[in-house]
Amino acid sequence: MDSPNHIAANLNRNPPIPCVDVKTCIEVLNSSRGLFCQNGYCLCENDGQIRNCSSNNITHITRNTDIGGSCTRHEECFHVHGAVCTNNDVCDCPGETVISENRKRCLKVARDILDECVENVQCAQTFEKAVCVNQTCQCEDRYHFEPEMKRCFNNRGLDETCGNSFDCYQDENENVTSKALKCEENVCVCAENYERKYNKCVNGGEKEI
């Protein structure tokens, strides 16, 4: 327990904050939690005890600021897990992270397709048309990933219109190293060394099963 001399010394260094009503305390301390105005001074509730508020409380009692709101200290953003007060005095998620759907935490942004994830926003931040499936980033249904371009393209099958060869796609075996389709005159056709068998392009030496 603090001695009377120690309490007096603290009060001299950190004099109590005068008030007319509780609004004064709220404005000065940027908080509404555990504040009272009594006998002309602000009272603060800390650890179950009510004492005179002092200048120390101004730095320890902080307001909760949402992502995008103005701030002066990191502590004002901490109720959003991982958020910081940026150099622009705005609460935001730091680099390579993104705010979660419930706006309660900052999540790591995916850098590559198939990176781990818990929410779609982690994938979509880097790859348009990507979603989180089974805790990995994948292209949306009817889209495929092109490593060379590092993006998801809408599937365009044989004989369908296309803008470039990245659009053209058919399901391939995992060990296939070359694309079976290419875009020619804005139509998906079989690529070199592939030939058409029914509605699929197969390698010239490959037999259709």
- Supply the range of the domain harboring residue 60: 22-107
**For residue 163, how many C-alpha atoms fall within 13 Å in the half-sphere facing its CB?**
3
Domain end position, chosen among 81, 107, 133: 107
87 and 28, same domain (yes or no): yes
Q: Looking only at Cα atoms, what is the longest distance across the chain?
A: 95
pLDDT of residue 15: 73
pLDDT the model gives residue 173: 67
Residue 41 carries which side chain, given as an amino acid letter?
Answer: Y
Q: How many domains does the chain have?
A: 2
What pLDDT shows up at residue 30?
67
Does 50 reside within a domain?
yes
Give the model's pLDDT for residue 27.
73
**pLDDT given for residue 53 in this prediction:** 81
pLDDT < 70 stretches in the chain: 1-14, 30-32, 55-63, 173-177, 205-209
Closest among 137, 144, 134, 131 to 172, alpha carbons compared:
144
Q: What is the DSSP string of 98-152?
A: EE-TTSSBEEEPPSSTT-B-SSHHHHHTTSTTEEEETTEEEEPTTEEEETTTTEE
Spatial neighbors of 118 by CB under 8 A, at least 6 apart, are 107, 132, 135
pLDDT tens digits, 157-197: 999 999 999 999 998 765 556 889 999 999 999 999 999 99
Count of Cβ atoms closer than 10 Å to residue 140 Cβ = 17
